[in-house]
Amino acid sequence: MAQEIGWELYRSFLAVLSSGSLSGAARSLAITQPTVGRHISALEKSLGLPLFTRSQAGLLPTEAALSLRPYAESMSSTAAALRRAAESHGGAVKGTVRISASEVVGAEVLPPILARLRAEHPQLRVELVLTNRVQDLVRREADIAVRMTPPKQEVLLAKRVDAATLGLYAHQDYLKQHGVPRSLSDLEHHSLIGFDEETPFLRAARRSIPQWSRDAFCLRTDSDLAQLALIRAGCGIGVCQVRIARRDLSLVRVLSRHFEMKLETWITMHEDLRSSPRCKVTFDALVRGLGKA
């Protein structure tokens, strides 16, 4: 590698990894397919490595390509963070702030908070990333994150807000048809909604409810949003945040004396963004909003 490799080559590389084809990458990048092909060829030549092999299913990444992916993704995150910082240059609250939150918090809790934030600062744009994966703030995958675990990196600024309370809920129509459980043993006669994969939350819940296991779940999904939708549809009994269920009078809490869990909630951002107006007002708005949620 006698010269620096341009970012556009890595950008095309990531797009092909995501789409599995040159044409798909071209559409996502709004460039032509031959251009993407040239970028991949130039990158392979510069690196001295084959990155993709052709198959009937499309372009398959080689082991070398997969090993390079996290580094290219880090470059992409840094480039996006640079653009967000550049467009917000100046003292005004403007530009884009990228927020990462879990599925349920992002879809059910944050929208009214963000609506108030945008009403106060109309020049502010928000990118809301819904993921249960903890995005890396150090690598600038997001500017601010709402997390259910305290951050471990010293370079992160964090504020603890009110913990989210979890309880068991079912739709009133389900309870009319199947009855209200009066004891934990009654759960054996009900349709339970839970995770497909074993999770730390599932293990923690079993300490209060021994019956709360994968084998006991009639409906399984690792999506928190899907679990909430199943509860709302009257499919059975599942875990829901109290602050979310409180807004829906058709959801009824059951076995409240037997099960209640608290999830710590933290608002976190990189300390280098402390002086950024767009990040500061967003951080403060999330702290206020989640403190009242």
Last residue of a domain, one of 57, 85, 113: 85
Residues 75, 34, single domain; the answer is: yes
- Whether 75 is covered by a domain: the verdict is yes
Residues 243, 269, single domain; the answer is: no
Residues 100, 232, single domain; the answer is: no
Residues 138, 11, single domain; the answer is: no
Q: What is the pLDDT of residues 196-216, one digit of tens each?
A: 988 778 888 888 888 888 999
Residues 118, 146, single domain; the answer is: yes
CATH code at 195?
3.40.190.10
Last residue of a domain, one of 85, 112, 145: 85
Residues 14, 159, single domain; the answer is: no
Total Cβ atoms within 10 A of residue 233: 13
Residues 111, 139, single domain; the answer is: yes
Whether pLDDT at 135 is above 60: no
- Whether 1 is covered by a domain: the verdict is no
Q: Which residues pair with 268 in a beta bridge?
A: 145, 158
Q: What is the pLDDT of residues 259-292, one digit of tens each?
A: 999 988 999 988 888 888 889 999 999 999 998 6
Mean per-residue pLDDT, 227-231: 97
Q: Which two tokens stand for residue 230?
A: 């199943």
Query: Range of 243's domain?
Result: 164-261
Residues 253, 120, single domain; the answer is: no
Question: Which pLDDT value is given to residue 119?
Answer: 95
Class of residue 135 by CB neighbours under 10 A (exposed 0-12, middle 13-18, buried 19+): middle
Question: Which pLDDT value is given to residue 254?
Answer: 97
Residues 154, 175, single domain; the answer is: no
Q: What is the pLDDT of residues 23-42, one digit of tens each?
A: 999 999 999 999 999 999 99
| pTM metric for this prediction | 0.70
Whether pLDDT at 152 is above 80: no
Residues 126, 79, single domain; the answer is: no
- Whether 2 is covered by a domain: the verdict is no
Residues 158, 281, single domain; the answer is: yes
When comparing pLDDT for 133 and 45, which is higher?
45
Backbone dihedral angles phi then psi of residue 48, each to the nearest 5 degrees = 70, 30
Residues 6+ apart with CB under 8 A from 276: 85, 88, 143
Q: What is the pLDDT of residues 105-125, one digit of tens each?
A: 999 999 999 999 999 999 999
Domain count, the chain: 3
When comparing pLDDT for 7 and 107, which is higher?
107
Last residue of a domain, one of 46, 62, 85: 85
